Amino acid sequence: MSNQSVSSRPTGLQYFLYKSAKALKTPTPYLAFLGITLWLVAYYLLCEQWRIFPFYKVPGPVEVITEWINKDPIWGTSMFTEDYYINIWVSCRRIFIAFAIATGLGVPLGLFMGWSQKFKDYAFPILELLRPIPILAWVPLAIVMFAGFETPIIYLATLASFFVTALNTMLGVESIDESYFRAAGCLGSKKHHIFLNVVVPGALPYIFTGLQISIGVAWFSLVAAEMISGDYGLGYMIMDSYMVNKYTTMVMAMLTLGFVGWITSAMVRSAGDRMMQWRERALGQGGV
Amino acid sequence: MTQSSKKENGGILKKIFSDLTFKRGIASILIFLILWEIGFRFHEWFGIMVPFVGKIDAPTLVVARWREVVLQPGYWESWYLSFGRVFFGFLVAQVIGIPFGLAMAVNKNFRGLFFPPFEILRPIPPLAWVPASIIFWPTTELSIMFVTFLGAFYTVVINVLGGARSIDIQYLRAAQSMGATRWDLFRKIILPGTLPSIFIGAAVGMGITWEVVLAAEMISGGGQQSGGGLGFFIWSSYMGGVMDQVIVGMISIGLAGYISSSLIRYLGHISMPWRRMF
Amino acid sequence: MSVGNNIAPSKGAISIRNVTKVYDPGGANVMAVDDCSLEIAAGEVCMIVGPSGCGKTTLLNAIAGFHSITEGQIDLDGEMLCGPGKQLATQGADRVVVFQNGALFPWKTLADNVAYGPVVQGLMSKADAREKAMTMLAEAGLDGVADKFPGEVSSGMARRAEIVRALINDPKVLLLDEPYRAMDALTKSIMHESLLEVYDRTKVTIFFITHDLEEAIFLGDRVVVMTTRPAKTKKIVDVKINRPRDYRLLSSEEFRVLVQETKEAVHEEAVKAFEAGERELA
């Protein structure tokens, strides 16, 4: 009876191939392809070919891509130049630091707020008082509080990410079904057992949803901060190239930003999927 | 034990309990303000500068500045301008976003066609569009509106899509078995069923809208013809070195944001009476 | 399967004396239980039936230590669980609960779930607990799925695993709160046989809440019928049928007579509850 379960579970690759084959039989991927192509064509026609007002002021896809793959770019930046990668690296590094601090502070805070009414009574009001203030309103204060360029920028991204993470974590703990707490209790758990075996795993799905939102928010704040007061970074690159009318570089920076943002989001999501194996398998059974 | 099982223990306790929560909150905020005040005054009293907090003007100074500022018409004009931009951009995002989201939810082909480009552009933060927007639109005001619109638009669409797709299919089947047409289904089941998500999307979108308006005012305003607004208020206070006024501005914006979110929540509350039982 | 087990049960006698429970959801004083008294012998299978929302779960919650009582006293083997001066019983592994919608930790495998109790109580090392868990799961026919997560197995398997999770702690009392409520009749009958087999082996005291009369009589030594809210003992039906029992009992004459006897009492209360139309306390 026990050897059956091992051999009948499909391997990751088999599963992937099966799903891909199945997907190709539906109209979805073809429509997606068509949709993206249509959009690209419209973009090209409006900006480069027909040159209607005001679209002609914006560089079209062909212009941008040509510049991007150009070994000796007209405007100075392409995938072959060093500064392109420096900017990407600087922004990514800031995001990693901000996200790490925000998560490291936000998750424990959220867990305790959800877990202990007393703690929440003291901590939550302060949080709710500071949260409505938009992150960018902190810019002047951040510049005054912290020396240099780097710290205020990271501070802003951290702040934004922190609020989202803490709140979602707290809500996650509060959403855990009471039965699990009771079950753990009647099995003889002490408080720290309940924290480690019920609170943390129970809140994990909500924590990761929060983390996906929070990394998006971190990027949002980072870009804004870089645009206002930066040196290096993708936000700065956008602003700087705009200032000197290097519009093609500007669009390149925007698209790179979108791409990098998407990758970091996917990284968070897949980290979550790995940590929550039990969900993946259950969903696999139930299907949607 | 969790908070909820503590609450069950006796009805009389619950009243004192919520009072306790309130009292703790007040105590907590007071301690926060006091520490802040001390942090700033430390330099005056002892000559040592407390890191970070030491440079932020104390609550007492902020309050004093506020009483001055409230009497100036320019301050209220900023409120008016910012609110106007937020309101307008937000409205446009709803007007375009809700039908777009519903269309994607209801029609598979529409979604298949439009969702991928939407998803590809979504990771680009709205503020990254500011320069492009300024190039594209003839006036600064329009370019700010566009960016504001973008910020809220994504949120609204995602929420509407999620909400519409999560409507229990049994409601649809029940209606069909009673003879509903496609239009009936849309108007009587899908629309009301999506309302909660529309309002959630609106509340979140409102927060983003404020961020974007603020940023736009700080980036592109800063002294130009169509400047003004609370973002500009903060920025110019900073440029003038009047830090306590900066804090006044921060709190004002926080308040404004809170008011607009509450408005949305209230609207949601009255338009969805069936949720009142909770 | 052991037939004619001669273990004399010596633990798990519950004494419920004049228990009243009043609570206050949103300002309206609700009396869930009113001066209820009940004596449960060690090793007895005591079934509690009554209309939905009548407060039967409140009694279970009081014994388990999830809720407090307002008046009265509950003893376990002569020692006070809760009563004057201590209105809330301490939760403990001597009275383990099996929940209505299943409360296996979704993030642990079945084996880890079962091993949980002994490990957190410090009674066994992780490795030993796991070994014992595997053995017990095998006894229950679940060794093939021991390393799966609750979300991957059927509800019948999950519920059985939950019972194993309770039993590994050698509890005095097994508290079951309508555990088979959400199952279809076929799965239910398998659950019944499985529970009877477990009982025959261990003779643990069972406190079982249900609204299914036939289930109550099939499984129980005594069936206690409760009134609508506030709950009081209305009628006690003794089920003097020998063990081990099997499904053939369901079509026997004596079974039918017992069902009829109980049904009249329950029906009266069910009508009252229906007419009162109140939202279920759950």
Higher pLDDT, A16 or C261: C261
User: Which range has the worst mean pLDDT, A17-26, A97-106, B139-148, C202-211?
Assistant: A17-26
Taking 90 as the threshold, does the pLDDT of residue C6 lie above it? no
Taking 90 as the threshold, does the pLDDT of residue A103 lie above it? yes
Most confident of A89-93, A126-130, B200-204, C260-264: A89-93
Taking 70 as the threshold, does the pLDDT of residue C197 lie above it? yes
User: Does C24 contact chain B (CB < 8 Å)?
Assistant: yes
* SS3 (DSSP) at B139: coil
- A247-266 mean pLDDT: 88
* Minimum CA–CA partner of B137 in chain A: A54
Sequence-distant (≥ 6) Cβ neighbours of residue B147 within 8 angstroms: B89, B126, B127, B129, B130, B133, B212, B216
In this prediction, residue A248 carries a pLDDT of 85
User: Which range has the worst mean pLDDT, A267-276, A277-286, B155-164, B266-275?
Assistant: A277-286
User: Which range has the worst mean pLDDT, B85-99, B158-172, C113-127?
Assistant: B158-172
Amino acid, single-letter form, for residue C180? Y
User: Which range has the worst mean pLDDT, A108-112, B186-190, C18-22, C155-159?
Assistant: B186-190
Query: Between chains, do B9 and C25 touch, taking CB under 8 Å as contact?
Result: no
How many CA atoms lie less than 13 Å away from B77 in the CB half-sphere? 8
Taking 70 as the threshold, does the pLDDT of residue C279 lie above it? no
Contacts of C58 in chain B (CB under 8 A): none
Q: Which helix (H) or strand (E) holds A268?
A: helix A247-275
In this prediction, residue A1 carries a pLDDT of 41
Burial class (CB in 10 A: 0-12, 13-18, 19+), B162: middle
- A56-76 mean pLDDT: 80
Q: Which helix (H) or strand (E) holds C110?
A: helix C110-120
Query: Between chains, do C144 and A182 touch, taking CB under 8 Å as contact?
Result: no
Q: Which helix (H) or strand (E) holds C21?
A: strand C14-23
Measured at the alpha carbon of residue B91, what is the angle toward residues B89 and B93, in degrees to the nearest 5?
70
Mean residue pLDDT across chain C: 85
Amino acid, single-letter form, for residue A256? T
In this prediction, residue A160 carries a pLDDT of 93
* Minimum CA–CA partner of B6 in chain C: C67
Burial class (CB in 10 A: 0-12, 13-18, 19+), B128: buried
End-to-end CA distance of chain A: 29
Cβ-based interface (< 8 Å): residues of C facing A = 64-66, 91-93, 95-97, 99, 101, 103-108, 116-117, 120-121, 143-145, 147-152, 165-166, 169, 175
Give the other-Cβ count within 10 Å of C261's Cβ. Answer: 14
* Alpha-carbon span A110 to A169, nearest angstrom: 5
For the stretch B214-268, pLDDT in tens is: 887 776 654 444 457 888 888 888 888 888 888 888 888 888 888 888 888 888 8
Q: How far is A120 from chain C (nearest CA, A)?
A: 22
* Alpha-carbon span B44 to B30, nearest angstrom: 21
Contacts of C67 in chain B (CB under 8 A): 5, 8-9
Q: Which of A105, A114, A109, A102 is nearest to A170 (CA)?
A: A114
In chain A, residues 43-62 whose CB comes closer than 8 Å to chain B = 54-55, 57-58
Amino acid, single-letter form, for residue C217? I
Higher pLDDT, A208 or C229: A208
Higher pLDDT, A5 or A247: A247
Which pLDDT band holds residue B11 (cuts at 50, 70, 90)?
low
- Pick from C29, C67, C87: CB nearest B11: C29
Query: Between chains, do B135 and A145 touch, taking CB under 8 Å as contact?
Result: no
Sequence-distant (≥ 6) Cβ neighbours of residue C182 within 8 angstroms: C100, C101, C155
* Alpha-carbon span B37 to B29, nearest angstrom: 12
* Minimum CA–CA partner of A135 in chain B: B211
User: Which range has the worst mean pLDDT, A21-30, C54-63, C157-166?
Assistant: A21-30
Q: Considering chain B, what percentage of its residues have pLDDT values greater than 90? A: 0
Which pLDDT band holds residue C25 (cuts at 50, 70, 90)?
low
- A37-47 mean pLDDT: 81
For the stretch A135-179, pLDDT in tens is: 888 988 888 888 888 899 999 999 999 999 999 999 889 889 999
In this prediction, residue C45 carries a pLDDT of 93
What's the full length of chain A, in residues? 288
* Minimum CA–CA partner of B13 in chain C: C24
Which pLDDT band holds residue B76 (cuts at 50, 70, 90)?
confident
Mean residue pLDDT across chain A: 84
- C17-21 mean pLDDT: 85
For the stretch C130-142, pLDDT in tens is: 999 999 999 888 9
In this prediction, residue A199 carries a pLDDT of 94
Taking 60 as the threshold, does the pLDDT of residue A286 lie above it? no
In this prediction, residue B103 carries a pLDDT of 85
In this prediction, residue C231 carries a pLDDT of 77
Question: ipTM of this model?
Answer: 0.87
- Locus of tokens 């191939």: A17
The two structure tokens encoding residue B22: 């309130």
Q: Considering chain A, what percentage of its residues have pLDDT values greater than 70? A: 91
* Minimum CA–CA partner of B252 in chain A: A133
Which pLDDT band holds residue B196 (cuts at 50, 70, 90)?
confident
CB pairs under 8 A between A and C: 94
The two structure tokens encoding residue A141: 């204060």
* Alpha-carbon span C63 to C75, nearest angstrom: 9
- A81-100 mean pLDDT: 91
User: A201: cis peptide before it, omega within 30°?
Assistant: no
For the stretch C221-247, pLDDT in tens is: 999 988 877 777 788 888 888 888 888
User: Which range has the worst mean pLDDT, A30-39, A269-278, B69-78?
Assistant: A30-39
In this prediction, residue B58 carries a pLDDT of 79
In this prediction, residue B18 carries a pLDDT of 65
In this prediction, residue C7 carries a pLDDT of 54
Contacts of B5 in chain C (CB under 8 A): 66-67
In this prediction, residue A10 carries a pLDDT of 63
- What b/e string do you get for B188-213 counting C-beta neighbours within 10 Å, with b at 16 or more? ebbeebbbbbbbbbbbbbbbbbbbbb
Query: Between chains, do A39 and B117 touch, taking CB under 8 Å as contact?
Result: yes
In this prediction, residue B224 carries a pLDDT of 45
Amino acid, single-letter form, for residue C218? F
Burial class (CB in 10 A: 0-12, 13-18, 19+), B178: exposed
User: What is the value of pTM for the model shown?
Assistant: 0.82
In this prediction, residue A288 carries a pLDDT of 30
Query: Between chains, do C24 and B5 touch, taking CB under 8 Å as contact?
Result: no
User: Does C99 contact chain B (CB < 8 Å)?
Assistant: no
User: Which range has the worst mean pLDDT, A83-87, A92-96, B24-28, C32-36?
Assistant: C32-36
User: Does A28 contact chain B (CB < 8 Å)?
Assistant: yes
